Structure 1
Amino acid sequence: MSTGQRTGSIEVRHLRAFLAIADEGSVTRAATRLRVTQPVVSRTLAALERHLGVRLVDRSTHHLALTSEGVAFLDKAAAAVAAFDEALDPGRLRGWPLRLGHAWSAFGPYTTPLLRTWQQRHPETPLELLRIDDRTAGLTRGEVDAALLRGPVNTPGLVTEVLFTEVRVAAVAADGPLAARTSLSLADLTGGAVVLNTVSGATTLDLWPPDARPAATLTVANTDDWLTAIAAGRGCGVSGNSTAQMHPHAGVTYVPLDDAPPLPVLLARRDGPGHPALPRLAELAREIVARERPMRP
């Protein structure tokens, strides 16, 4: 395990050990991953917990689990390690890339204009578009510098700006009875199951009135599984119109929803110092929307 900068008696290796345990769910597997012995990992975790004054991992069960304090600390530890590794990556010293995360559909119809215009105006700063299946697209974990998100985002420590809104559509099996309709209502989707992406999606049961919700739900973890389930006839889904444009699927038909509220598309960043190019990104994103939107139906 590599050593790192000290913060009091704590080093980056303590955070790496905690993250490995959280990912693997086992001290033994974490030790194998880090190429150290199990007692070393146990002592490292214990030292971190003593320093913080809280227990991060519940060892009372057969399978290790994070305590509530451990869950709260997880994103902070991941962001700190990511920032440390980023700072010491020699390949990024010449051109500091601006990492833009998204969970699905990126910037919708404005994605290509954004990437092309950025490359023309700021060739010295590569813009990396990264899909990360997470509600904040890796932003809270420090995996990206900014993120394009959809729907309400109430995560503490994030600053968001609504760039545009898009209409919602229903995603239904292409060979199902709803695919032939020219439009649908939310009530039309309540007779069967609704497929919900609970990891990174923006649709929840709160979209329907409490007394008129779908008969059943099927949960998935990413857009690919969401599309596969709908194409297989296991349920229908609701998403923004950008999904229809960015994720066409032979087994899925997208139908306009008449009564669903529009879906906001946000640019999010962490509150505090960040990549120096973030203001330029926000400015260009606003410009692209203002320039391209009148040209589109």
Structure 2
Amino acid sequence: MNEAPTTGRPVELRHLRAFLAVADELNITRAAARLRLTQPAVSRTLAALERHLGVRLVDRSTHHLALTADGVAFRDKAAAAVAAFDEALDPGRLRTWPLRLGHAWSAFGPYTTPLLRAWQERHPGTPLELLRIDDRTAGLTRGEVDAALLRGPVDAPGLVAEVLFTEVRVAAVTADGPLAGRASLALADLAEGPVVLNTVSGTTTAGLWPPHARPATTVTVGNTDDWLTAIAAGRGSGVSTASTATLHPHTGVVYIPLDDAPGVPVLLARRDAPGHPALPELAALAREIVARGATH
């Protein structure tokens, strides 16, 4: 429930820094250590900011802190305000707080290492943190990252995304199973047995198959590790993108080309708000690396 905003003491830079530390750490104790303050001091500062704004920024009802929808929206504004202040004091300094890039699996595919290396060379003052988060938007809608590399269509409200490239799909089958020796496969070949679906962060659903030829049995899991384990154990086959074969090898799984599956777009997504000031540079570098085909 929103609270009536107060008109007492104005918001100061310390309020914004405290909130940003809590938003980054999602833990009052760690935020306090980062700010070199006591835990009660950070809690009071955060509470004062919430009273002034008249909204709850942090949900404290669970064992783990989480930003509210208002908190996610305010984080971008607070970060932009702090950046403007810091840059005004030292215009030549690069932004020093980390740029957090989320992904659910396989990151930027074959372009992952070139992106990380090129960023480090060009922006050494702004660490690029690559974070795997098992969520359809890789933590973007929850405010856990500043941008995310996503696969497949994303219909979450408040996000903007651009397609960087398209990956082909491959089948993932049990290494000692009857399909492992095939040079290529069709979706119909997989539908003859159980299909393992990652329903939390994956892009494959039963809708990939025609209505008259969908798998009779599916096994659902919540992340890429469990998906691979289930296939290796012979519980079914799966469908993923080509980068999964390169970045997630498994001794119990064989990846085989799929002849009749459409490709999957790889997107760079961000919230439709000012956000981290280095986001334009990240997008430009990602486009550059894909355009030149750099994979090493």
Q: TM-score range by the shorter chain?
A: 0.7 to 0.9
TM-aligned CA deviation for residue 6 of structure 1: 2.5
Q: State the shift of 1:17 in Å.
A: 2.6
Aligned CA distance change for structure 1 residues 105 and 9 (closer, same or farther; 3 Å): closer
- Structure 1 distance, partners of 2:170, 2:211, is 20
Post-superposition Cα deviations, 1:11-54, rounded to whole Å, max 9, x if no partner, equal 64x74234x1xxxxxxxxx5xx79xxxxxxxxxxxxxxxxxxxx
Report whether the alignment pairs 1:249 with 2:292: no
* Equivalent in the alignment of 1:124: 125
- Please tell me whether the aligned partners of residues 78 and 141 of structure 1 are also in contact (alpha carbons under 8 angstroms): no
Instruction: Give deviations 1:256-287, integer Å, cap 9, x for gaps.
Output: 00000011100000011111111111110011
Could you tell me which residue of structure 1 aligns to residue 14 of structure 2? none
Who is 1:115 aligned against?
116
Matched, 1:16 2:16: no
User: Displacement, 1:215?
Assistant: 1.2
Whole-Å Cα distance in 2 between the matches of residues 194 and 211 of structure 1?
Answer: 16
- The within-5 A match list for 1:68-87 is 76=69, 79=72
Change in CA separation of 1:215 and 1:74 when aligned onto 2, cut-off 3 Å: farther
Q: Distance in 2 between matches of 1:174 and 1:112?
A: 28
Report the counterpart of residue 50 of structure 2 in structure 1.
6
Q: What do you get for the CA RMSD once the two structures are aligned? A: 2.8
Which structure 2 residues correspond to residues 202-221 of structure 1 after superposition, within 5 A? 202-221=203-222
Q: Determine if contact 2:77/2:274 at 8 Å carries over to the other structure.
A: no
8 A contact 2:73–2:273 mirrored in 1:
no
Aligned position for 1:267: 268
Equivalences for 1:61-210 in 2 at 5 Å? 76=69, 79=72, 95-210=96-211
Between the aligned partners of 2:68 and 2:208, the Cα distance in structure 1 is 28
TM-score (norm 2): 0.75
1:108 & 1:85 partners in 2: Cα distance? 32
Q: CA deviation at 1:226?
A: 0.2
Measure, in 1, the Cα distance between the counterparts of 2:77 and 2:159: 20
Runs of 4+ in structure 1 over 2 Å off = 6-12, 14-18, 77-87
Larger RCO: 1 or 2 (CA < 8 Å, sep 6+)? 2
User: Which runs of structure 2 are paired with 1:229-240 in the superposition (5 Å)?
Assistant: 229-240=230-241
Q: Which amino acid is 1:156 matched to?
A: P
Output the CA distance in 1 between the equivalents of 2:184 and 2:168: 12
The answer to whether the 8 Å contact 2:140/2:271 transfers is yes
Q: Tell me if structure 2 keeps the 8 A contact 1:149–1:267.
A: yes
Partners of 2:77 and 2:275 within 8 A in 1 = no
Q: Name the SS of the counterpart of 1:112 in structure 2.
A: helix
Instruction: Indicate if the aligned counterparts of 2:67 and 2:143 stay in contact, CA closer than 8 A.
Output: no
C-alpha deviations, 1:89-122, integer Å up to 9, x for none?
A: 9xxx871111000000000100000000000011
Aligned-pair distance for 1:76?
1.1
User: Structure 1: how far apart are the matches of 2:79 and 2:200?
Assistant: 26
Q: Percent identity?
A: 70
The alpha-carbon distance between structure 1 residues 9 and 165, as it changes in their structure 2 partners (threshold 3 A), is closer
Stretches of structure 2 lacking an aligned partner (at least 5 in a row): 1-39, 87-94
1:278 aligns with 2:271: no
Letter of the structure 1 residue corresponding to residue 229 of structure 2:
T
Instruction: Flag the 1:173–1:85 CA change in 2: closer, same or farther, 3 A.
Output: farther
Instruction: Give secondary structure in 1 for the equivalent of 2:155.
Output: coil
Distance change (3 Å), C-alpha of 1:194 and 1:78: farther
- TM (normalized to structure 1)? 0.74
